[in-house]
Structure 1
Amino acid sequence: MGSLTVMSVKAVSIALKLSFSGMNQFVYLQTWIFTLIVITCCLLQINYLNKALDTFNTAVISPVYYVMFTSFTILASMIMFKDWDSQNASQIATELCGFITILSGTFLLHRTKDMGNATPKPDEEAPVFGNTNNRTPETAA
């Protein structure tokens, strides 16, 4: 839904840009169809995202939503607007490296979110550093 929203918003924004430049695009049925798709996709996306957040943990939904949204938006952009036809190989490679970096960062953030927050269990003894029995009043503070 997110990628369809992005593609439809791009189509509506192009129509608005052309309309402001003097070529009214709102006389065409396609402009109104894309406007209806934007509204429908936004409402459905909010509805299903809220249902998912009610069912699952936010720490699971956010990374999955972000990665799927980005992946399908790039794919839809390639198909609908042929964005990669006008780019050379280095620009495509740079975009793919950025995409892989985003995916890797999202994965690492999700995978390591609980590191460092571990508290010892009651049956485990916390490590003791130094001798705490021979404290003087000056070192106790």
Structure 2
Amino acid sequence: MDFSTDNLTGVVLALLSSGFIGGSFIIKKKGLRRAAAVSGVRAGVGGYAYLLEPLWWVGMITMIVGEVANFIAYAFAPAVLVTPLGALSIIVSAVLAHFILKEKLHKLGMLGCVMCIVGSVIIVIHAPQESPITSVQEIWIMATQPAFLLYVGSVIMLVFILVFHFSPRCGHTDVLVYTGICSLMGSLSVMSVKALGTSLKLTFEGKNQLIYPETWFFMLVVATCVVTQMNYLNKVRPKMLSNFN
């Protein structure tokens, strides 16, 4: 991988993003615990008392800062370079959970962290060059290829099945339901975030992309994916971090 100035900027922003997002997991878990202690209803079973907990909002702001850094990173570096670095937020969460929450990570969890690091490094080292993009319409052409549209349709169908069939029945007991929803929606948001970030970057460079409806469509997709992921991430996080005990 040729680390140009833009690529290096993207990598640094992606690493900072992982740090903020990883830290926000711990802060928000403490907020979720406090909210559950006060209301008696956990977020994992449908409680929303955490919205009144200040510590949860501190974690949310921290996460927003991380997400903004991640968003900007997509404007500078290829998605195949930025996306794998997001997995490092898991490592940050694991370390902070050990020291701040006094939680112990199981051996399989340690193995998973090592695999995240190794996988991220391998992908970053061997990431292909990105072709220069001069317009959001170029991304739109790639996004409307039959193969990708088939993938998008499959993802949306799976998300609907998980949300309306499996979530009410076993979502509160099976972490894979909420994790699956977040991961599937995340796979769609990557393309949209890349498109929106590139559009804004080109606009700031003097090539206005806001005049194209494709830019606003990608913005709508990003907003939809983020809201959905945030909702189910708050449900899945207490279960994920409880595996440290």
Q: Which interval holds the TM-score relative to the shorter structure?
A: 0.5 to 0.7
Say whether 1:79 aligns with 2:93.
Answer: no
Distance 2:126 2:76 in 1: 23
Say whether 1:53 aligns with 2:74.
Answer: yes
| Aligned mate of 1:12, from 23, 28, 31 | 31
Change (3 A) 1:106 1:7: same
Distance 2:60 2:114 in 1: 31
Shift of 1:111: 5.7
When the two structures are aligned, how many residues end up with a matched partner?
Answer: 99
Q: State the TM-score, normalized to the length of structure 1.
A: 0.58
Distance 2:61 2:109 in 1: 30
Change (3 A) 1:94 1:42: closer
Q: Which has the higher helix share?
A: 2
Alignment of 1:1-141 (within 5 A): 1-21=20-40, 31-32=53-54, 34-67=55-88, 69-84=89-104, 91=106, 93-108=107-122
Distance 2:71 2:127 in 1: 23
Counterpart of 1:127? none
Q: AA paired with 1:80?
A: I
CA-to-aligned-CA distance 1:22-77 (integer Å, 9 cap, x gap) = 9xxx9xxxx52x1331232122122111111111111111112222x111111111
Shift of 1:107: 4.3
Tell me the C-alpha RMSD between the 2 structures.
2.5
Q: AA paired with 1:45?
A: G
Q: AA paired with 1:41?
A: T
Distance 1:106 1:43 in 2: 23
Change (3 A) 1:55 1:111: closer
Q: AA paired with 2:75?
A: D
Q: Determine which structure has more spread, i.e. the larger CA radius of gyration.
A: 1
Counterpart of 1:130? none
Unaligned runs of 5+ in 2: 1-19, 42-48, 129-245
Q: State the TM-score, normalized to the length of structure 2.
A: 0.35
